[in-house]
Chain A
Amino acid sequence: MNTQTMYEKIWETHLVRAAADEVPILYIDTHLVHEVTSPQAFEGLRLNNRKVRRPDLTFATMDHNVPTTDRSLPITDLIAAKQMETLAENCSEFDIPLYDIDSPEQGIVHVIGPELGITLPGKTIVCGDSHTSTHGALGALAFGIGTSEIEHVLATQCLLQQKSETFEIRIEGTLPYGVTAKDIILSIIGHIGIDGGNGAVVEYTGSAIRALSIEERMTVCNMSIEAGARAGMIAPDDTTYEYIAGKRFAPKGEAFDAAVEEWKQLPTDEGATYDRTLQLDAADIAPQVTWGTNPGMVTDVTGHVPDPADTTTADEKTATEHALAYMDLKPGTPITDIPVDRVFIGSCTNSRISDLRAAAEVAKGRKVADTVSAMVVPGSQAVKRQAEAEGLDEIFRAAGFEWREAGCSMCLGMNPDTLMPGQRCASTSNRNFEGRQGKGGRTHLVSPQMAAATAVTGRFVDIRMFE
C-alpha cells in the first residue's frame, strides 16, 4: 500500500501543475497579509496591471507596527501610520477584507487566523511572516514567504514550490510540572540547532504532543522556523475539531461534520516514513531559558552560562564569545543569578488566552519587583476582551504589570515598545537576536509562567520551586 505523511497528502492535493523539470505550482487556500511586508507586493501588481486573483481567500490585519497604548490617541510614528494607511488603501483598492487597528477582530495575524476559524486542517496557508508555521498546529501546511512571493500569491493564488523533506519530531511521555509547550520547542531547538530543520517540514508527534491544547500546539509550531524548518505541523484530532467548532469562518452543521470526516484522512498513514526523525522524552525536559543571541543558545533554568572553551568548533567558539559579549554574561554564571530589567508577555508565540491565564496564575497576589518593568500584550482584541472578562487584567495591574492593546509589540519592537540599550528582558517571544527588541537590548526567551515569576523575583527563577 502507498503510505504517505500528512505533509505529502496536503502537498499532493494542492498541486496545480507538476511537470517534469519544472518547479511544481502549489495552490494556496488562504493568504494572510499584514502591513509591513505587503506594500511593495501591491505596488508590483499595480506596475504590471495585475489583479488580486482571489480576494475572498485573502485576509489582512495590522499587527507589526501598531501602538499598544491608548487607541483613541493619534499614532505618533508617522512612517508607521503611513504603512498602515497604505495597507488600508491597498485592501480597499483590491477588495480584500481588512481587520484594521480599530476592528474588534484586530490582532497578531497568527493569533486571529485560528481564532476566526480561517485556519483549518488540510489547508495551505501562507503569509509574509516567518511565524506562519504557527497555523500548522491545526494540521495545515503553513509557511512564511517573502514579498515577491506575496505578490505571486496575490496575482495567481499559487506559489512555485519545491517539495521539502519530512522530519518527524516525536515527544513521548508526560511533561513534568512547570514545563510548558514553550519549553518543548526551545528544548528541541537546543537539540537540533537553529539550522537543524533547514529544508524540512517538521511533523510533531507522540503522546506529549497529543496531550497539548491547540494553543499549546501553536506555541510549538510557531517556533519551527527558529530551527530553520519550512513549516511545522501536528495532525488534527478531536482536540482540533473541538477547537474549530463554532469559530466564525469554520464550516457549520452538516458541512462541519463532513469536513471532520475529511480531516480524519489527513494524519500520516501507519507505516509511512519520514526523511529524518528525532525522539525526545517529555520527562527529560526542564524549563528553558536562552542565554545567547539565537534561540538555539538555550539551557535548562538549572543550568549555567556556557564557556566558549567548551564548544566543539572554531565557528561555535567565536559565536559564543560574540553572544556572551553582547549579552554581557560571564561563563559559568547560574541562570538563576541573572537579573532582568524588563518582562514582556506577548507575541505570536505566547499571547493567547491560555498563556495569559498561566502568567496571571503566577502573578496573582504578588508584586512585580521594584527593579523590573513588566508588560502584558494580548495577541488580539478578542484575547484582550476574554482576559478582561475573566479579570486577568485586574490581576496583572494589581501586580504592577502594564496591560496593553493587541499587537506584535516588543517581540520585534517596530512600534514604540522597545528595550533601551543594555536592558535585559525576560520575554515570551521567539527571537533573542541582537537588537531584536531594541538596539543593544538583551533578550532571554522563556515561557509565560517563567516570565511572570521572573517579573516577581527580579531574576530568573525555576518555576518548579516558585512559591
Chain B
Amino acid sequence: MDAFKEHVGRVVPLDRINVDTDQIIPKQFLKRIERTGFGEFLFNDWRYLENGDPNPAFVLNLPRYAGASILIAGANFGCGSSREHAPWALQQYGFKAILAPSFADIFRNNCYKNGILPIALPADVIASLSQAAHDTEGYQLMIDLEQQSVICADGTAHTFEIGDFEKYCLLNGLDEIGWTLQYEADIAAYENR
C-alpha cells in the first residue's frame, strides 16, 4: 500500500448525502478479477450519458475540477455494498482523500487499506469547504496526516480524528497482514486452547 503523509490537491464538491457504493462503482464493473482498471468507471451512471459521452452536468466532468484529488461529499458517504471496488475506483481515478461529515463503516475501513484518507469533519466545516470549492476556481486544500489537519490556503486549519493504528498504517504504507502474522504464535495458541 502507498504511504500517505501529506497531500496538496484540487478539491471537487459532490453535494449529495448517502452516496452509496453502487453509485461509486456500479455492479456491471465488478466482474473483473484484477485490482486495477476501475478509475474510468468511477460514478459511471452519473458521469456518462446513455451514448457513453461524458455527462456535462456531472461535477467531475466540469473542466474547472479536472485533476481533482480531494473529494468533498455529504454525510454517510460510501453506504451500502461492501465492495472494495469503490475505493479502488476512487483511488485509481486520482483521489487521495475524501472529506465528509460521516462515512459508512465498511467503506471507511476499505479506504484505509488502499491508502485513501477518509476525513470526517463537522457538517458546517464541510459545508464551508464545499462552498469555497464552488466559489473559487482551482480551490486547493492541504492535508497533513501527521498533524491530523486539513489546511486552507489562508492558513485556517481543521483538525480531524483518526485511530492511532490507522494513522500508523497510512503513514508507513504498512502491510496489515504482515503485521498480524507477527503474532502467529498467539493465533496458534488461540486455536489450540
Q: Given the complex, which residues of B lie within 8 Å of A225, measured CB to CB? A: 80, 106
Other-chain contact of A433, B22, B76, B82 (Cβ < 8 Å): B22
How far is it, in angstroms, between the C-alpha of A389 and the C-alpha of B18 when the chains are bound? 43
Q: Which of B58-101 contact A (CB under 8 A)?
A: 74-76, 79-85, 87
- Chain B residue with Cβ nearest A316: B17
Asked if residues A158 and B20 are in contact (CB atoms below 8 Å), the reply is no
Q: Is B8 among interface residues, defined by CB-CB distance under 8 A? A: no
The answer to whether B177 touches A130, judged by C-beta atoms less than 8 angstroms apart, is no
Against A, the Cβ 8 Å flags (1 = close, 0 = not) of B29-65 are 0111111000000000100001000000000000000
State whether the Cβ of A447 lies closer than 8 Å to any Cβ in chain B. no
Give the total number of A-B pairs whose CB atoms are below 8 A apart.
Answer: 168
**Is the beta-carbon distance between A149 and B109 smaller than 8 angstroms?**
yes
Contact across chains for B82 and A144 when beta carbons are under 8 A apart: yes
Asked if B158 is an interface residue, CB under 8 A from chain A, the answer is no
Contact of A83 among B28, B31, B102 (CB under 8 A): B31
Contact A315–B76 (Cβ < 8 Å):
no
Q: How far is the CA of A36 from the CA of B21 in the complex (A)?
A: 15
Residue of B nearest to A229 (CB): B105
Contact, CB under 8 Å: B16 / A318: yes
Question: Which residues of chain A are near B28, meaning CB under 8 Å?
Answer: 414
Assess A130 versus B84: contact at CB under 8 Å? Given A149-B113, A195-B75, A414-B28. Answer: no
Closest to A14 in B: B190
A434: B residues at CB distance < 8 A: 22-23, 45
For window 159-176 of B, CB contacts with A under 8 Å fall at: 163-165, 175-176
> How many angstroms between the C-alpha atoms of A413 and B163 in the bound complex?
37
Q: Is the CB of A40 within 8 A of B80?
A: no
Q: Which of A22-30, A299-307, A375-383 contacts B (4 or more CB under 8 A)?
A: A22-30
Quick check: A439 and B80 within 8 Å, CB to CB? no
Residues of A contacting B113 in the complex (Cβ-Cβ under 8 angstroms): 146, 148-149
B177 near A50 with CB under 8 A, answer yes
A147 to B81, CA, bound (A): 12
Q: Does A174 contact B (CB under 8 A)?
A: no
Does A398 belong to the interface (CB within 8 Å)?
A: no
Q: Which of A149, A316, A412 contacts B27 (CB 8 A)?
A: A412
User: How far apart are B121's CB and chain A's nearest CB, in angstroms?
Assistant: 15
Residue-wise interface mask of B (111-124) relative to A, using a CB-CB cutoff of 8 A (1 in contact, 0 not): 00110000000000
For A45, the closest partner residue in chain B by CB is B177
The answer to whether A37 has its CB under 8 Å from any CB of chain B is yes
Q: Is the CB of B187 within 8 A of A79?
A: no
A296 proximity list for chain B (CB < 8 A): 18
Asked if A195 and B177 make an inter-chain contact with CB atoms under 8 angstroms apart, the answer reads no
User: Contacts A27-B187, A147-B84, A195-B18 known; A65 to B104 CB distance under 8 Å?
Assistant: no
Which residues in B have their C-beta under 8 angstroms from that of A421? Answer: 50
Q: Does A145 contact B (CB under 8 A)?
A: yes
A162 CB–B CB distance under 8 Å: yes
Cβ of B76 and Cβ of A195 under 8 Å apart?
Answer: yes
Q: Give the nearest-CB partner of B32 in chain A.
A: A79
Q: Are the CB atoms of A36 and B109 closer together than 8 Å?
A: no
Residues of B within 8 A of A106 (CB): none
Could you mark each residue 133-177 of chain B with 1 if its beta carbon is under 8 Å from any beta carbon of chain A, else 0?
000000000000000000000000000000111000000000111
Please determine whether B109 and A40 come into contact, CB atoms closer than 8 angstroms: no
Complex contacts, A414 vs chain B, CB 8 Å: 27-28, 30-31
A48 neighbours in B (Cβ, 8 Å):
175, 177
Chain B residue with the shortest CB-CB distance to A145: B82
| Pairwise interchain contact B177-A144, C-beta atoms closer than 8 A | no
Q: How far is the CA of A230 from the CA of B26 in the complex (A)?
A: 22
Q: Tell me which of B30, B83, B114, B163 contacts A162 (CB under 8 A).
A: B163
B177 interface neighbour in A17, A37, A83, A155, Cβ under 8 Å: A155
Contact A152 B102 (CB under 8 A): no
Cα A149 to Cα B80 with chains together (Å)? 17
12 pairs, A vs B, C-beta closer than 8 Å: A16-B183, A23-B165, A40-B34, A40-B35, A152-B177, A157-B187, A160-B179, A195-B79, A294-B79, A318-B15, A319-B17, A413-B27
Q: Which residues of B contact A (CB under 8 A)?
A: 15-18, 20, 22-23, 26-28, 30-35, 45, 50, 74-76, 79-85, 87, 102, 104-106, 109-110, 113-114, 163-165, 175-177, 179-181, 183-184, 186-187, 190-191
The 8 A-B pairs with the shortest beta carbon distances in the complex, nearest first, are: A148-B113, A146-B84, A39-B33, A146-B110, A195-B76, A144-B82, A147-B84, A130-B82
Interface contacts beyond A39-B34, A156-B181, A439-B26: sample of 11 additional A-B pairs, CB < 8 Å, sorted by A: A37-B30, A37-B84, A48-B175, A152-B177, A155-B180, A195-B104, A413-B27, A431-B81, A435-B22, A435-B45, A436-B27
